[in-house]
Structure 1
Amino acid sequence: MRLQFILSEIGNGLRRNKSMAISVVLVTMVSLFFLGSGLLAQRQVDVAKGYWYDKVQVSIFLCTDRSDSRACPDGAVTDAQRTKVHQDLEDLKPLVKKVYHESSAQAYERFKEQFKGSDIVKNVPKDSMPESFRVQLSDPSKYEVVSSAFVGAPGVETVQDQRKLLDKFFTFLNVLSLSAIGLAAVMVVCAVLLIATTIRQTAFSRRKETGIMRLVGASAFVIHLPFVIETLLATLVGAGLAVGLLWGMVHYGISGFLATNISGDLISFIGVGDVWAIAPWLAAGGGVLSILTSWLTLRRYLRV
């Protein structure tokens, strides 16, 4: 009988306070959507880092006749210097995973392919492209070992780490994800305030029912429980809608549009599996937040 009474109170409460329940659903949906977006953005950064950091290379550019750098006082690299650089790279294994030598002619052909159709190709002489050693490291974070070994070495003009260029892009993505999480935190505060206000107004509108329940000897737990469950149900519906929006964003926007329009050789994207991975945490977080907020509000404003 007690369970039937509680369920009846929950149903009556939801029917009487539809607008409040819908407000809780919407603000929860928006809050958890932004929070989920921030978590997915951070996950995308991790996926992209793992994808690119396995592919980035350290480029050791050798001196040419056109080099005006102080590192090349004697002009173009000699055969002996080139051989010495290559041998030193071989000695760094297993830190050095692979070594590719790119001649000046190969570098120019790659340059023409990259800037096909651009007038810039006509203004760049063929012999201005330096030859280089492209070095793939087994651990990209150990770039400094290669840099310290070859910066200033005879015949070497510059040493460039592609990871430094990518770090700027990843920093930008991190800022975006942190901004989304920051906005989500603001929305969570709004959700807490709205839930607390909803509970207060609902308790006031049902003060006669709660008064009767007190008279018949109902405990504080029994009186509070319908309010808490109503708020929890509205929050879980909002969490479900937020997960649905995140799934649509990833399925149609990222896995669908971006993955089919951007070459898979450029970047690896997150998938709907990442949405399902964070979905339980979003639902659990929203549920715990709604229970704590509603229970504390009832203890303060609904004296039993």
Structure 2
Amino acid sequence: MRLQFILSEIGIGLRRNLSMAVSVILVTFVSLTFVGAAALLQQQITQMKDDWYDKVEVSVFLCAQGSEEPTCAAGEVTEEQKAAIQAQLEAPEIEPFVQTVYFETKEQAFASFQEKMSDQWWAAEVTAEDMPSSYRIKLADPEKYQVVADVLTGRQGVEEVLDQRRLFDSLFLVLNRATLVSIGIAGVMLLAAVLLITTTIRLSAMSRRRETGIMRLVGASNLFIQLPFMLEGAIAATVGAAIAVGALWLGVRYLVTDWLGTQVQWIDYVDAADVLAIAPFLAAIAIVLAAISSVVTLSRYTKV
């Protein structure tokens, strides 16, 4: 009997404030979509770092003919300088940070250059003598790049020490800033959702103040009086969360997996399973929103 009464009160409240309930659903949907997008974007960044940082190399380019670097003032790198660099890479203080070392000759560098730049008209003007030889170093821990760089940078015969990770850091910086923007927008929208849920509950409570007064006179508890209002906000917020999860699932499924995944295939993207993994998190946020709004509102507007 009590359950039937509570359900009846919820239906009455939602019908009386239908437009406000729809507004709560829409604002919750938009805000949680931004929250979910930020979570998925951060997960994508972490996934890309795990995949790419393990594959990057440190490239130590040696002096070529005509180099203007101060460390190349004596001209092209000599065999003695190469031996000194190789010995430094095998030194006890550096060896634990190095997994493998591969030496690329000028001829090998020229062949790789021709393969990648064969469609450029100016590539025909480049010869093997113009190419620098280099050491390609695979690190045991990519985060320890600076240890190797500090030892080799500035040595005679070394033109440049380049960490491939730098190429990705700019991309990750942009993505991280996009995450922060999404979080900021989500925060504003979540605040709007709280205010709307509060307004909805307040209007519903005010429109039924006479009924709640009668219920108090007959001895109804605060929980029994307030529960229908609390559930109204919770239902509207949960519906918004469900729509947000559906929108994120469709976006990932069709925009990321089906479209972007076929255009750029060398990236391991987040998928629909990741959306389902964050769905309970989004639902929990919706419930917390409703709970905060209920606590703020009901203690005042359900009093006789």
What's the % identity of the aligned pairs? 50
Contact 1:24 1:191 in 2 (8 A): yes
1:213 paired to 2:196: no
Q: Across the two proteins, how many residue pairs are aligned to each other?
A: 302
Report deviation, 1:70: 0.8
Residue aligning to 2:114 = 112
Distance 1:295 1:213 in 2: 20
Contact 2:201 2:232 in 1 (8 A): no
In structure 2, the residue corresponding to 1:71 is in which secondary structure?
Answer: helix
Residue aligning to 1:232 = 234
Instruction: Evaluate the alpha carbon distance shift between residue 61 and residue 38 of structure 1 in structure 2; reply closer, same or farther with a 3 A threshold.
Output: same
Distance 2:245 2:122 in 1: 48
Distance 1:90 1:41 in 2: 40
Residue aligning to 1:248 = 250
Report deviation, 1:42: 1.0
Deviations 1:203-231 (A, max 9, x none): 22222322332232222211111010111
Contact 1:32 1:239 in 2 (8 A): yes
Residue aligning to 1:163 = 165
Distance 1:110 1:263 in 2: 22
Deviations 1:158-210 (A, max 9, x none): 11112223211111110000100100000001101111111121122222322
Aligned Cα RMSD in Å?
A: 1.7
Residue aligning to 1:173 = 175
Letter of the 1:268 counterpart: D
Residue aligning to 1:286 = 286
Residue aligning to 1:131 = 133
Report deviation, 1:54: 0.6
Deviations 1:235-291 (A, max 9, x none): 111111111111111122222222221132xx3222222212221111111101211
1:13 paired to 2:13: yes
Report deviation, 1:233: 1.0
Report deviation, 1:126: 3.8
Using the TM superposition, name which of 89-98 and 61-70 deviates more. 89-98
Runs of 5+ consecutive residues of structure 1 not aligned to the other structure: none
Runs of 5+ consecutive residues of structure 2 not aligned to the other structure: none
Report deviation, 1:118: 2.5
Instruction: Evaluate the alpha carbon distance shift between residue 195 and residue 269 of structure 1 in structure 2; reply closer, same or farther with a 3 A threshold.
Output: same
In structure 2, the residue corresponding to 1:99 is in which secondary structure?
Answer: strand
Q: Which runs of 4+ in 1 moved over 3 A?
A: 122-126
Distance 2:22 2:208 in 1: 18
Contact 1:224 1:295 in 2 (8 A): no
In structure 1, the residue corresponding to 2:161 is in which secondary structure?
Answer: strand
Distance 2:47 2:125 in 1: 38
1:299 paired to 2:299: yes
Distance 1:218 1:194 in 2: 28
In structure 1, the residue corresponding to 2:136 is in which secondary structure?
Answer: strand
Distance 1:186 1:84 in 2: 59
Deviations 1:45-90 (A, max 9, x none): 1111111111111110011122121101211112232233223323
1:34 paired to 2:26: no
Letter of the 2:249 counterpart: W
